[in-house]
Amino acid sequence: MSETNKNTVGATERSWSLLFWLPLIAAALLLLCGCAAQSSQPSSGQEPQAGREGQASEQTGRPAGVRGEAPQRDAALGYPSLGDADAPVVMVEYADFQ
Amino acid sequence: MQEYVEGGTLRFEWRDFPYLGQESLNAAVAARAAQEQGRFWEYHDLLYRNQPGGFPDEKLVGLAREAGLDAERFEADLASGEYEQIVTSDFREGQQRGISGTPTFVINGQVLSGLQPVGVYENAIEQAKREAEGET
């Protein structure tokens, strides 16, 4: 086989190899992007983290003093409370009016 | 408890746990509507003083007038359904903490179920205070 023919055959093989691998590489990249995007979003079963005052305060003994983000109405209204927001002791009452 | 609150030692927080049916839920929602007008504790006291007979809607509105609330706004707030979401959120939070009845008190993480002698709460507050001071 002449040198020219060898070069032509080599180039053809490389082209076929590229044609084979390129779609696979592209598919792998797409999959990776998809996974990254999905992991940055909460799953449908998750509830929003309200970051509410009492949860932190009961664990640390100090009210966080900052309302969470959801639900917005709750954030605006807050828990009914009495006393200093920086009090060292937080007493939470779960109660019913009936 | 009042002296602890006034002395800056204690912060008291309310959570709704309406587990006794629809009127129980309605009363909790009504109290939140009163909170919107800055009179939660006044309305809270009226609800407890008027427990007999339950809490039909007309009674809740009557108590709102008695508490000095804007009754028209109060009724509109009740109808909006917004406060039910808040009350339900409290209830779910309580369930997640394993609470099954009322009253239940949580003092810096220590759970005290049912109504206890005052001394039990005082001891728990004093202990929580000592622990909190020890942490600083």
Question: Domain boundaries in chain A?
Answer: 1-39, 53-78+87-93
Give the pTM: 0.67
A92–B105 CB contact, under 8 Å: yes
Residues of A with CB below 8 A from B18's CB? 96-98
Q: What is the pLDDT of residue A77?
A: 78
What average pLDDT score do residues A23-28 get? Answer: 60
**B112 part of contact set with chain A, CB < 8 Å:** no
Q: Tell me what ipTM this predicted complex has.
A: 0.94
Fold held by B13-98? Glutaredoxin (3.40.30)
- Judge whether residue B40 has pLDDT over 90: yes
Is residue A63 a contact partner of residue B8, using CB atoms and an 8 Å limit? no
Which residue of chain B is at minimal alpha-carbon distance from A64?
A: B11
Whole-angstrom CA distances from A83 to A1, A57, A92 are 95, 13, 12
pLDDT digits (tens, 9 = 90+) for A27-49: 555 555 443 333 333 222 233 23
Residues of chain A with Cβ-Cβ distance to B82 below 8 Å are 73
Least confident interval from A31-40, B58-67, B100-109, B118-127: A31-40
Segment (H or E) for B55: none
Q: Summarize the confidence of residues B97-115 as an average pLDDT.
A: 96
Q: Does the pLDDT value for residue A51 go beyond 60?
A: no
In order of A19, B20, B31, the CA distances from B24 in angstroms are: 70, 6, 11
B47: contact with A, CB 8 A cutoff: yes
d(Cα A47, Cα A55) in Å, to the nearest integer?
Answer: 15
**Measured between CB atoms, which of A77, A97, A98 is closest to B35?**
A77
